Amino acid sequence: MNQKEALTEYLLRLADSDMILGQRLCELCGKAPALEEEMALMNVALDLVGQARNWYEYASDLIDDGRDADKLAYRRDAHDYRNLLLTEQPNEDYAVTMGRQFFFDVWHYFTLKSLVNASDERVAGIAAKALKEVTYHLRRSSEWVKRLGDGTEESHRRMQDAVDILWRFTGELITPDETDQLMAQAGIGPDPEQLKEDWRGLVKEVLQEATLTPQPDDAWMYMGGKHGEHTEHLGFILAEMQFLQRAYPDATTW
């Protein structure tokens, strides 16, 4: 794999993860526990979809086969998607929704914080804009984890259950593969060991404040999303998300 191929793969991972998590959050429109929460969730979802478009557009330029950002989002099958498995997990109750968001936000924040200094100017520019939004995402999700974890007996139980359910999908965030290594060596992606240290450090700090217990670092983990191997959930997400483009390719309003 050369650097261009690795960069294209890396951009699709960033874009797909943003897109799928944004789609998951959009499912909560009209179903959030409070009006303020619904507005906040939809704002986070819109941020993620906007970030996904920026990454898709760069990937499209590198692929250069006639597919634009919309086609990369709406015309690829599940096995072509490179999103993190964590992002496709169902919303379940609000503890799971916020736990999933928190684990992702920590990874997202430290990844973007590194990408701001990428040797690739376009990557650095997109990351700088996204980092401002993700800083807010992380602050919000970490506050919810603490509020639920250190709240009532019921909220603590639900938040601990969420941590236990989602933990098995977090290893993929901080386990590097060839693409991650190549991006780090090129001065584009974050150093894998530093990312792992930062992610674990902040996650454990927040969980401790929330009176929650993390799973062991060496717990068994699900892997494969970055290589197109997904859970059954992604197919259902794409079926809904891509229906219009699949049914009416290249349709316009005029």
> Which pLDDT score is estimated for 244?
84
Residue 77 forms part of a structural domain: yes
Residue 113 lies in a domain: yes
User: Rounded CA gap, 175 and 25, in Å?
Assistant: 25
Which domain does 119 fall in, by range? Answer: 3-247
CB 44 within 8 A of CB 23: no
Distance (Å, rounded) from C-alpha 154 to C-alpha 46?
Answer: 31
Residue carrying the six token digits 């799973």 = 215
Low-confidence ranges of the chain (pLDDT < 70): 252-254
165 within 8 A of 103, measured Cβ to Cβ: no
72-81 pLDDT per residue, tens: 999 999 999 9
pLDDT at 254: 61
Query: Quick check: is 254 in a domain?
Result: no
- In this structure, is residue 252 part of a structural domain? no
What are 246's two structure tokens? 């699949």
Residue 251, phi then psi, degrees to nearest 5: -65, 145
Could you count the other beta carbons within 10 Å of the beta carbon of residue 64? 8
SS3 24: helix
Residue 192 in any domain: the answer is yes
pTM above 0.85, yes or no: yes
Structurally, the chain folds into a number of domains equal to: 1
In a domain, residue 7? The reply is yes
The answer to whether residue 159 sits within a structural domain is: yes
How far apart CA 67 and CA 56 sit, in angstroms, is: 10
Name the helix (H) or strand (E) containing 26.
helix 3-26
User: Given this model, what pLDDT does residue 89 score?
Assistant: 98
Q: According to the model, what pLDDT value does residue 36 have?
A: 86
253 domain residue, yes or no = no
Place of tokens 């098995």: 168
Could you tell me the CATH number of the domain that includes residue 200?
Answer: 1.20.1260.10
